[in-house]
Structure 1
């Protein structure tokens, strides 16, 4: 239930700042309002929705503050996860190249976002610290609505693809520090574009 509601939030079916019509949503999902409210309460604890006693639930609005808070944590922890992968990461280079080609060939924001997410997940999949991987995954989930915004521009997808190429090139040569540097540039680019989209300098 949580996943079904969250997916509607992340793909914009439940738009940022919009009121959640619990009756209609329960009908769409084929459930009663009780499990739906339990799911919404869980998503409220995660920051995806908010509630007021007299107005019910609403989807959390997009926030420049959230962008500024989450992205730096993401590139720091994702870089740490990549470093912990050690030399095993280089064995994933062919897979990363394949995923990045799919990103370059994507024709819609949803496809681009799916490929981008898969690239980053594969990049650090060799990290032995499962708690760190979960934290990074949660952070990527938190920025997904913002990532969807900048994936709507083909030039931004092209820039991300080129930055991924630099990460792959560094890994191929065994330069983990260089890969981490480009990983930060890639994530910082997403942050900067998101802030511009939100009308922030």
Structure 2
């Protein structure tokens, strides 16, 4: 079992490796070399090894023999995972209604407005968008008050993230507005509306992916 200092280092390595995957610096199909990653992160191999095992457990890395590879998400995988999210996240939003801190909601709204304003001239910061998305969906999961459900949703989201706004940049404005509608419902404690808005948001993501694929 990891001691507290070991666990802290492993989580730091995990966060940094996850960012490399989400940013596209580590691409689907890339083989992960433990020694090389330890050099890149300027860490010893032990926490990096533990972090790689966590990412493998979440399905972001796939093992082929002794090698680990960044998972190549097939569209069928994406649709299956999104279907599970469409079952879980509306119910989670319903549970979170009225339970999310007002300060957290206000901060998310301010960041959404910033993205919408910068998108007018095409200057939207994609890293900021990813951060908002993570904070919003993660915050809703936390506010629902079920840690196991929250962890499951985070894992499912990470598995689909490579198909999100980077694949469908035209979704940026709609996504910000949909996120705002979800926050509005949660802020006023309207669980049914929060569930409906979350469902509409995820359906919009699904429809945009299908539309993009139909043009491919």
What range describes the TM-score normalised by the shorter chain of this pair? 0.7 to 0.9
- Indicate yes or no: 2:23 matched with 1:11: yes
Residues of 2 paired with 1:69 and 1:127: CA distance? Answer: 23
Q: Equivalent residue for 1:78?
A: 89
Q: Equivalent residue for 1:183?
A: 198
Residues of 2 paired with 1:23 and 1:96: CA distance? Answer: 38
Q: Equivalent residue for 2:114?
A: 102
Q: CA deviation at 1:125?
A: 3.9
Give matches, 1:93-132, under 5 Å. 94-105=106-117, 107-132=124-149
Q: Using a 3 Å threshold, how does the CA distance of structure 1 residues 98 and 19 change in structure 2: closer, same or farther?
A: same
- State which of 155, 165, 170 in structure 1 corresponds to 2:180: 165
Residues of 1 paired with 2:90 and 2:78: CA distance? Answer: 18
Q: CA deviation at 1:189?
A: 2.0
Q: 2:115·2:125 contact (CA, 8 Å) conserved in 1? A: no
Q: CA deviation at 1:158?
A: 0.5
Q: 2:93·2:198 contact (CA, 8 Å) conserved in 1? A: no
- Higher deviation after alignment, 65-74 or 30-39: 30-39
- Secondary structure of the residue aligned to 2:37 is helix
Q: CA deviation at 1:36?
A: 3.5
Gaps of 5+ in 2: 1-12, 119-123
Residues of 1 paired with 2:105 and 2:50: CA distance? Answer: 42
TM-score relative to the length of structure 2: 0.74
Residues of 1 paired with 2:14 and 2:159: CA distance? Answer: 15
Residues of 1 paired with 2:34 and 2:211: CA distance? Answer: 33
- Indicate yes or no: 2:57 matched with 1:40: no
Gaps of 5+ in 1: none
- State which of 77, 98, 114 in structure 2 corresponds to 1:87: 98
Residues of 2 paired with 1:169 and 1:62: CA distance? Answer: 33
Residues of 2 paired with 1:137 and 1:10: CA distance? Answer: 13
- Indicate yes or no: 2:156 matched with 1:145: no
What count of residue pairs does the alignment treat as equivalent?
A: 198
- Secondary structure of the residue aligned to 1:111 is helix
TM-score relative to the length of structure 1: 0.79
